Structures are given as structure tokens and as C-alpha cells.
């Protein structure tokens, strides 16, 4: 039975229901959904094929999604992958013959502090090794459910600034923030958020108050508040911890946003990788409703009606881009929209919409709770407040760190016990890489911006290997709509694969640098714009490494004749 749908916004949920019930989406599901929504079947196929957790082929009783991000790669991805294949008799990426175990690789699942990690039937399994994989597979075969076998995911909260300066990582009491709305004018709320200089913590750092103000002044209603919990940037997991530890705080931030802009409905867009957290968010919603902080006349404010629901994503990094997220919410392919209209003008269902990241929601809730002055007392003058870092890679204490803006790279490295760091990736693959030469730089808006991901690599990690992993990721996660991102990332990936870890001509690296510039300048959304950042910066910031990879230019390219004739040699 295909679940009934009334409108397009329910499509993703319906597809999820089919996927879970049958292990894949059957032809009859596609047909009946197309029928119910009065669209062509190909439109449904287009949606299904966009998201990598939705399948049109059976995926088996147990679906294993093994994280193939760079941190996982460093911590033993290859061994664990092999262990899964040996233990289950299935091969990665293929429809399982036995219909028991379907093995798939997936991009970062937000568990970089406990890699290698996998999702089995979407329950988290962390710190995997060969032995553990064997035991898990055997237990599943015995009929033990994944829900009881899975690991308790540690929050790994490691550091918060002392002296009561912490903003995020401090105690939370439901309603403390929202009750401050009583008797306040919405504009006053926006002004206070503006005074605290809260910016979008997802990585774009757009001033939240400006976003809210522009949504507030649009006359159309209903308006929507969307919480972007599609934390897909490899290496980041701060939103996971916030949703796990402070789900109520996140929701309170949404309620405050709704009050400020005049919205009546809120949606948490939760990435599919975090569906094991869904019940926590649901419980928090129920709790707030019980406390009359959600629903009608919130906190006793007459006429302030607002409620929140959760929308589960289905596997697509690009849906973290706010306009792609809106398309996804509408049950469409998660292709970013053009910037012809801003979401605050035409967002969800073409209505004014505010999209805020999980951390931003928490920040605004704390602004009300602690006051803007508290923010202004921390951090630097130009970037007041604190930032949550998700630290992973080659360090003794991976986990969540709340640091004041203005903290230097050196200080962060010392805090987390980094062992002989060499290459540091700030803000994930789409961010920038930093060498120890830049370690005096500070995390600040006017210096080094950090969206949250902070990955540390020591001397034993090959830089080209890291960059190949990133390029592979972007090639796979590009939405495919604009030429430079779709074709360009593929071209870069081909070239990096061709170079491999061998020597290359100087022109190969200058080509990559130039192509990267073009892709960055011409792409349609942030994904393409930033996809080649790390590659370009690595070439600039690790000159010794790249110099050591260069062979003298004799006008002959590095051509591997032996490899090229191998296919023919097989006929010997």
C-alpha cells in the first residue's frame, strides 16, 4: 500500500514510508503517487533519484550506510568497509543478492568525533573496527534489532569558556527565552538580535536581524520559519549535539523568530542522517506544547499562534543551501533556486520564509535569555559572541568546543591536543585549509570565518588524498543543474585521479588552480562557488608539498603507457 498524499509537501514523507516498508520504492508506488498528485511519473522519478537514501531497487532487510568522509578514511574506513563485505557477503553499492544486507557508502553522517561510523537502518554505530563489525552483523543475523544494538552517541562536549561567558553550552530551562517575548514589540526583538550581532551560523554569516527585518516587512501571509538542521558539511557535528542536548533551545529560537517576523508555522528540516534524533526533537515539541509555549496564544501573548513540525530530508548535501532546502520541503528535487527572489520574499510555497541554522536558533534564544550585552562582552568587537567548533581528525580530544570569536588556531590546536598538526581544514571541504604558517590567524568574521567544521591532519596524511576525497564529495553532491559545478567538479576529480599520488607537471597544478577559479566564479549556488576553495588554497598554502610533486617540464605529459595498454594485453 502506498500512503495517501494530499499535496506535494507530503511527497518526501510518503516516499520514506515506501522506502521503509519495502526497502525500496516500487513502480506501483511511483504510479500511485504521481496519480494522487496529478503529476507525471517522471517527476516523481526525478525526486526519488535526487536523494541518495531513496532507492528504486531493493536494498535488503538491513541497509548499512558507511561514512566515507575524509576523517573516516583516516580512521580506518577501508578496513571497516572490507569487514562489512566479508561479514555480510554483499558488495558495496550493489543491490544485495540475498536481500539481507544492502551496503552503501555515504557522505559525512555527522559523527566525525567517533569515526569510523555507519548508520544501520538509520541507527548510529560508532568507533567501528573489524571485530565490532563482525559482532554487529552476527547479532543482526540472529534477529536482534538495530535499534537496540546501536551505540549511545556521545556528545563529547570538551570545552566552554569559563567565567559564565558560555552562550550555547550552559544550562537550559524551557521557556526562559520565550517568556521574555511578553510585552515586547517584534521590532524590539529584531533590534536586540541585531545589537548582539547574531549572524547565520551555518557558514554564510548573514546578519540574522537583517534577514528577519526583510521578512517582517513583506505583507504576505502566512509566513514560515524553517530551522535548517541539514548539517551536511563534512566534519561538522555541532548541530547534532545541540539537537541531542538542547532540542528545546533550538525550538525556542524558532518561536522567537516567528514572533519577530510574524510567522504562523515552523518546520525543522532534519537531515535523514539524524533521524535517530527525531524522537528527541518530537519530545521537545510536545513538551513546549504542554507548557503552552507552542500552539495558540504562546506564553499568553494573545494572537501569537505558532506550531512546529519536522520534515525529514532524504540524503542530499546541497539541501543545506537554503533555497534547495525550500524546494526539498516542497517535495521537489533539492536544486537550489536562483537568487532572483530571496526566501524572505518568496520562500516556502512562495511565501515569505526565514531559514535559520540550528546554532543560529540557539543563539537568538540565548540573546533573549542573556541579553545582547552578554554577547557583546565576549569575543571581539567586530565578532562578538562565541562559536561552536566540531573538532575531529588527528587530535587527542575530538568533540565540541565552544570558543570565543577571536581565538587563534594555535589556541584551538592546544585545547584539543592536536598531535603534530600539518594541514587544518576549517569550515569543511567548502571552507579553507590552513597551514601552521597561518596558525596565528584568529577565528573571526574579519579574519578566518569558521562554519563549525575543524578537521586536523598530521604529517602522515597525503594532501592530494585529502583533496581527492573532497572533490569526489562535490562531484557526487552537485545538484547537476549548472554547468561549472556539474561538469567542472567532474573535470577536477578526473584530473586529480589522473595525477593520483604521483608526480605531475607544474602546469597540471596551475590548470587546477585556474579551473577552480572559473568554477567558483560562475557557479549557481554556494556549493559550486566554494567547491574548489580548498584545492586552490592548498596549492597556495602548501607550496613545498606541491613543489615536491612536480617533475621538470619537458613538454611531455605524464602518460602511463603501461596502464593504457593493459586492456589490450589481456588478449595476449
Partner 1 sequence: MTEEVTLTIDGREIRATPGDNLVKVARAHDINIPSLCYFEHLDQPLGTCRVCMCNVDGRIVPACMQRVHAGMEVAFETPKLSDMRHAVLEMMFAEGNHVCPACPKSGDCDLQRLGYEMEVRTVRFPHLFKDRYIDLNAKRTVVDTNRCVKCARCVEEVRTDDGKQVYSFCNRGNETVVAIDYEQEARLTDAQARKAMRVCPTGAIIVRGEPSWTRPFGDRRYDLHPIRGPETLVRRKKTKATPNKRDKKTVATISLAGCYGCHMSMLDTDLGLIDRVDIIEFNKSPLNDIKEFTKRCDLGIIEGGVCNSDNVEVLKEFRRQCDVLVCIGECAVWGGVPALRNTIPLRECLEETYLHCESVEPGQGVVPFDDDLPKLLDRVYACNEIVKIDHYIPGCPPNADIIWKSVANILWDEDNSILYSDFKYD
> CB within 8 A of 381, min separation 6: which ones?
none
Measured from the CB of residue 206, what is the shortest distance to partner 1 in angstroms?
16
Strands (E), 486-539: 504-505
Which residues within the stretch 501-520 sit at the binding site for partner 1 (CB under 8 A)? 511, 515, 518
- The helix (H) or strand (E) run that includes residue 363 is helix 358-370
Instruction: Find the binding residues for partner 1 in span 319-338 (CB under 8 A).
Output: 333, 335, 338
Look at residue 32 and give its three-state secondary structure. helix
The helix (H) or strand (E) run that includes residue 499 is: helix 489-499
Peptide bond between residue 116 and the one before it cis (omega within 30 degrees of 0): yes
Interaction between residue 29 and partner 1 (CB under 8 A)? no
Q: How would you label 442-456 residue by residue, b for 16+ Cβ within 10 Å and e otherwise?
A: bbbbebbbbbbbbbb
The only residue of 523, 532, 533, 534 in contact with partner 1, by rule CB under 8 A: 523
Binding mask 524-553 for partner 1 (x = CB under 8 A): x-----------------------------
Neighbours of 123 (CB within 10 A): 17
| Residue of 374, 520, 390 lying closest to 453 (CA atoms) | 390
DSSP annotation string for 222-278: --EEEEEE---STT--HHHHHHHH-HHHHHHHHHHHHHHHT--EEEEEE-GGGGGGH
Complex with partner 1: residue 131 or 561, whichever CB lies closer: 561
CB of 43 or CB of 192, closer to partner 1: 43
Closest approach, Cβ 487 to partner 1, in A, equals 4
Q: Which stretch binds partner 1 (CB under 8 A): 190-198, 287-295, 385-393, 554-562?
A: 554-562
Total site size for partner 1, rule CB under 8 A: 58
Based on CB atoms, which residue is closest to partner 1, 138 or 518? 518
Q: Pick the closer one to partner 1 by CB: 103 or 482.
A: 482
Rg of the chain on CA atoms, in Å: 24
Of residues 184 and 522, the one with the C-beta less far from partner 1: 522
Closest C-alpha to 371, from 165, 166, 193: 193
Site for partner 1 contains 273 (CB under 8 A): no
How far from each other are the two terminal CA atoms of the chain, in whole angstroms? 55
Grid cell locating 279: 524522537
Q: Residue 1 or 563: which CB sits closer to partner 1?
A: 563
Minimum distance, C-beta of residue 34 to partner 1, in the bound complex (Å): 9
For partner 1, give the closer residue by CB, 252 or 335: 335
* Residues of span 177-216 touching partner 1 by CB under 8 A: none
Q: Is residue 521 within the footprint of partner 1 (CB under 8 A)?
A: yes
CB atoms under 10 Å from CB of 253, counted, come to: 30
Out of 171, 340, 544, 548, which residue is the one contacting partner 1 (CB under 8 A)? 340
- Environment class of 101 (CB within 10 Å of its CB; exposed 0-12, middle 13-18, buried 19+): buried
Single residue of 1, 6, 27, 38 touching partner 1 by CB under 8 A: 38
For residue 59, the minimal CB distance to partner 1 (Å) is 17
Cell numbers for 291, please give them.
Answer: 507548557
Three-state DSSP state, 554: coil
The C-alpha cell of 81 is what?
A: 568497509
Residues 531 and 542: their CA atoms lie apart, in Å, by 18
28, 292 Cβ separation under 8 angstroms: no
Q: Is position 565 an interface residue for partner 1 (rule: CB under 8 A)?
A: yes
316 binds partner 1 (CB under 8 A): yes
Determine which helix (DSSP H) or strand (DSSP E) holds 432, and give its type and residue range: strand 432-435
As measured in angstroms, the least distance from the Cβ of 569 to partner 1 is 7
Exactly one of 300, 309, 341, 373 binds partner 1 (CB under 8 A); which one? 341
Pick 494 or 502: Cβ nearer partner 1? 494
Element (H, E) at 516: helix 506-522
* 50 lies in the site for partner 1, by CB under 8 A: yes
User: Binding segment for partner 1 among 256-264, 411-419, 434-442, 522-530 (CB under 8 A)?
Assistant: 522-530
Q: Which of 39, 415, 439, 448 binds partner 1 (CB under 8 A)?
A: 39
The three three-digit cell numbers of residue 397, written as one number: 580530544
**Contact string (CB under 8 A) for partner 1, positions 460-499, x = contact:** ---------------xxxxxxxxxx-xxxxxx--xx----
Q: Which residue lies nearer to partner 1 by CB, 196 or 479?
A: 479
* 394 is an interface residue for partner 1 by CB under 8 A: no
The span from the CA of 11 to the CA of 5, in Å, is 7
Site of interaction with partner 1 (CB under 8 A): 38-43, 45-46, 49-50, 316, 318, 333, 335, 338-341, 475-484, 486-491, 494-495, 511, 515, 518, 521-524, 555-557, 559, 561, 563-572
Amino acid at each position: 500500500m502506498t500512503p495517501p498524499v494530499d499535496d506535494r509537501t507530503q511527497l518526501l514523507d510518503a516516499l520514506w514510508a515506501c522506502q521503509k516498508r519495502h526497502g525500496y520504492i516500487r513502480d506501483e508506488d511511483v504510479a500511485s503517487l504521481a496519480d494522487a498528485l496529478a503529476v507525471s511519473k517522471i517527476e516523481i522519478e526525478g525526486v526519488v533519484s535526487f536523494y541518495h537514501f531513496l532507492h528504486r531497487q531493493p536494498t535488503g532487510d538491513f541497509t548499512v550506510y558507511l561514512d566515507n568522509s575524509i576523517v573516516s578514511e583516516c580512521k580506518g574506513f577501508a578496513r571497516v568497509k572490507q569487514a562489512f563485505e566479508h561479514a555480510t557477503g554483499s558488495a558495496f553499492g550493489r543491490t544485495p543478492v540475498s536481500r539481507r544486507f544492502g551496503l552503501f557508502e555515504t557522505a559525512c553522517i555527522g559523527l566525525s568525533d567517533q569515526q569510523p561510523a555507519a548508520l544501520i537502518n538509520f541507527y548510529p554505530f560508532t568507533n567501528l573496527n573489524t571485530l565490532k563489525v563482525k559482532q554487529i552483523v552476527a547479532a543482526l543475523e540472529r534477529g536482534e534489532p538495530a535499534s537496540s544494538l546501536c551505540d549511545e552517541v556521545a556528545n563529547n562536549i570538551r570545552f566552554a569558556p569559563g567565567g559564565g561567558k558560555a552562550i550555547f553550552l550552559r544550562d537550559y530551562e524551557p521557556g526562559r527565552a520565550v517568556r521574555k517575548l511578553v510585552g515586547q514589540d517584534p521590532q524590539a526583538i529584531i533590534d536586540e538580535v541585531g545589537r548582539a550581532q547574531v549572524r547565520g551560523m551555518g557558514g554564510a554569516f548573514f546578519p540574522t536581524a537583517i534577514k528577519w527585518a526583510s521578512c517582517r516587512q513583506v505583507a504576505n501571509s502566512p509566513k514560515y520559519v524553517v530551522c535548517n538542521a541539514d548539517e551536511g558539511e563534512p566534519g561538522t557535528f555541532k548541530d547534532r549535539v545541540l539537537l541531542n542536548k538542547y532540542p528545546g533551545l533550538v525550538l525556542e529560537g524558532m518561536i522567537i523568530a516567528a514572533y519577530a517576523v510574524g510567522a504562523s508555522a515552523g518546520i525543522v528540516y532534519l537531515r535523514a542522517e539524524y533521524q535517530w534524533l527525531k524522537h528527541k526533537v518530537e519530545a521537545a515539541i510536545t513538551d513546549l506544547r504542554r507548557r503552552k509555549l507552542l500552539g495558540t496564544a504562546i506564553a499568553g501573548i494573545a494572537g501569537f499562534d505558532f506550531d512546529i513540525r519536522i520534515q525529514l530530508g532524504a540524503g542530499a548535501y546541497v539541501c543545506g543551501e537554503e533555497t534547495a532546502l525550500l524546494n526539498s520541503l516542497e517535495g521537489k528535487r533539492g536544486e537550489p533556486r536562483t537568487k532572483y527572489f530571496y526566501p524572505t520574499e518568496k520562500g516556502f510555497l512562495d511565501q515569505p520564509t526565514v531559514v535559520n541554522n540550528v546554532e543560529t536558533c540557539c543563539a537568538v534564544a540565548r540573546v533573549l535569555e542573556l541579553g545582547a550585552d552578554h554577547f557583546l562582552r565576549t569575543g571581539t568587537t567586530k565578532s562578538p559572541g562565541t562559536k561552536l567548533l566540531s573538532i575531529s581528525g588527528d587530535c587527542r580530544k575530538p568533540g565540541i568546543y565552544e570558543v570565543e570569536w577571536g581565538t587563534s588556531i594555535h589556541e584551538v590546536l592546544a585545547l584539543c591536543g592536536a598531535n603534530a598538526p600539518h594541514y587544518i581544514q576549517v569550515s569543511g571541504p567548502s571552507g579553507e585549509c590552513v597551514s601552521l604558517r597561518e596558525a596565528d590567524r584568529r577565528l573571526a568574521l574579519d579574519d578566518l570565518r569558521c562554519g563549525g567544521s575543524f578537521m586536523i591532519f598530521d604529517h602522515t596524511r597525503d594532501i592530494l588524498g585529502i583533496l581527492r576525497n573532497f572533490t569526489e564529495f562535490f562531484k557526487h553532491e552537485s545538484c547537476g543543474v549548472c554547468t561549472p559545478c556539474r561538469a567542472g567538479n567532474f573535470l577536477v576529480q578526473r584530473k586529480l585521479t589522473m595525477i593520483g599520488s604521483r608526480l605531475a607537471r607544474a602546469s597540471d597544478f596551475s590548470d587546477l588552480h585556474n579551473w577552480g577559479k572559473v568554477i567558483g566564479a560562475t557557479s549557481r549556488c554556494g556549493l559550486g562557488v566554494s567547491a574548489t576553495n580548498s584545492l586552490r588554497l592548498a596549492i597556495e598554502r602548501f607550496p613545498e608539498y606541491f613543489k615536491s610533486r612536480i617533475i621538470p617540464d619537458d613538454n611531455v605529459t605524464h602518460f602511463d603507457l603501461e596502464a593504457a595498454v593493459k586492456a589490450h594485453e589481456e588478449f595476449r
